[in-house]
Structure 1
Amino acid sequence: MIRLYALCDQDLLDSRGLSLESFIEIAKNHNAEIIQYRNKTADISFIKAQLIKIRKMYSGFLIINDSYELIEFCDGVHLGQEDLKNIDSEVHRAVSIVRSVIGKDKILGISTHNEDEVLQANDLDLNYIGLGAYKNTSTKDVPNILGDSLDQIASKSKHFVGAIGGVNINDTFVNVTYHVIGSGLLEK
């Protein structure tokens, strides 16, 4: 059975003319266990309002991308490698800072893109990693495509692994816990 982590990207919704409510319904219809809300352009009050809306419609795990100051409105936070470096140039310190803000009872995940980052993540206080990109995707410029090596690299992680980047429901992995799907959920 595929375990689904749905990535709800506000820019993608806006570009396709989809409402937040529509995306949440699609995610629920596909039995998404986790929804991550990502919005790289809005102000913090808009993001907060969207998290509150999602929480009213969805009872699964809710993760915020980047905006860890909004942790009280969700179950966890996800950060990319560049976002970590913006917090502190040393990844271990950056994760420690975020963990001190969100607490031990909240979920913390980061993006990884290669075996070195996965091995580094093994020493971090995390709940999961996103690993990829698996395939090229139209929603993000991806310089590193892992393809068939993703599953082998995932086997090196001591954390749960979500396959990211161009993943769809029909992809199969042995060492991956979650399929992280955003735009693929919206395909007919």
Structure 2
Amino acid sequence: MRLYALCDQDLLDKKGLLLEDFVDIAKQKNAEIIQYRNKNSDVVFIKQQLIKIRKMYDGFLIVNDAYELIEFCDGVHVGQEDLRAIDKDIFTAVKILRSVIKKDKILGISTHNKEEVLQANEMDLNYIGLGAYRNTNTKSDVSTVLGEKLDEIASLSKHLVAAIGDVQESDKFHHVTYHVMGSGLIR
């Protein structure tokens, strides 16, 4: 298993954990990627958190949504709704993002079904997040649980695939590169 650790600020706050605690756990588990997600703070706070993570962690650092902070990390991850906020056409949105973050940075998007995976195949991406594998209590907007179909859908992707949505260390997939763990990492 290759680990992609999702560091959600709301979850840290809810569990009373420091950012440093999360990064230590991710390092102990040999996480190759940390994604920092913060849906409620301003860009100055997010920038400060990215700088803190970078000082403690040598792996890939991805920021969720805040592509304007690309200089402080290795890449950006955006969801389908976030793409549509950039441009109503998701293909154009990805082109805009790629023009902002450049080719030397990582770009990933969330996908939830076969159609979105096939669309992603036509985009200039480095990876996709695919799921949710199971219901998760960290996101209230999970509409589709893929369960055992996740691996089959992942096989259609030309990009690396990160399984999302209550993924456990013990879960086994054939066509998934990364297990994305957030709350499961800090249980």
For the residue of structure 2 that corresponds to 1:145, the secondary structure is coil
Please state whether the residue corresponding to 1:186 is helix, strand or coil.
Answer: coil
Task: Tell me by how many angstroms 1:73 deviates.
Answer: 0.1
Gaps of 5+ in 1: none
Residue in structure 2 matched with residue 177 of structure 1 by the alignment: 177
Cα deviation for residue 47 of structure 1 reads 0.2
Q: Secondary structure at the match of 1:108?
A: strand
In the superposition, the TM-score normalised over structure 2's length comes to 0.99
Report matched runs for 1:76-155 at 5 Å.
76-141=75-140, 142-155=142-155
Q: In the TM superposition, what whole-angstrom CA distance separates every residue of 1:60-115 from its partner, at most 9, and x where no partner exists?
A: 00000000000000000000000000000001100000000000000000000000
Quote how far apart the aligned CAs of 1:138 are: 1.0
Return the offset for 1:13: 0.1
Q: Secondary structure at the match of 1:163?
A: strand
Specify the code of the residue in structure 1 equivalent to 2:97. V
The one-letter code matched in structure 2 to 1:143 is S
After TM superposition, give the deviation of residue 143 of structure 1 in Å: 1.1
Report the equivalent of 2:38.
Answer: 39
Q: How far does residue 144 in structure 1 lie from its aligned partner after superposition? A: 0.3
Paired residue for 2:29? 30
Give the Å deviation of 1:168: 1.0
Structure-2 separation of matches of 1:10 and 1:148: 29
**RMSD of the alignment, in Å?**
0.4
- Paired residues in the alignment total 186
Structure 1 SS opposite 2:185: helix
Cross-structure match for 1:71: 70
Residue identity matched to 2:164:
I
Residue-by-residue CA offset, 1:124-178 (whole Å, 9 max, x unaligned): 0000000000001111121100000000000000000000001011111000000
Other structure's SS at 2:92 match = helix
In structure 2, what is the equivalent of residue 14 of structure 1? 13
1:162 maps onto 2:162 in alignment: yes
1:12-58 CA-to-partner distances (Å, cap 9, x unmatched) read 00000000000000000000000000000000000000000000000
Partner AA of 2:150 in structure 1: L
Q: 2: CA distance between counterparts of 1:51 and 1:23? A: 13
d(CA) in 1 for partners of 2:48 and 2:102? Answer: 22
Matched, 1:56 2:21: no
Letter aligned with residue 186 of structure 1: I
Q: Which amino acid aligns with 1:174?
A: H
Give 3-state SS (helix, strand or coil) of 1:35's partner: strand
- Structure 2: tracts of 5 or more residues without a match: none
- Structure 1 residue runs of 4+, over 6 Å off? none
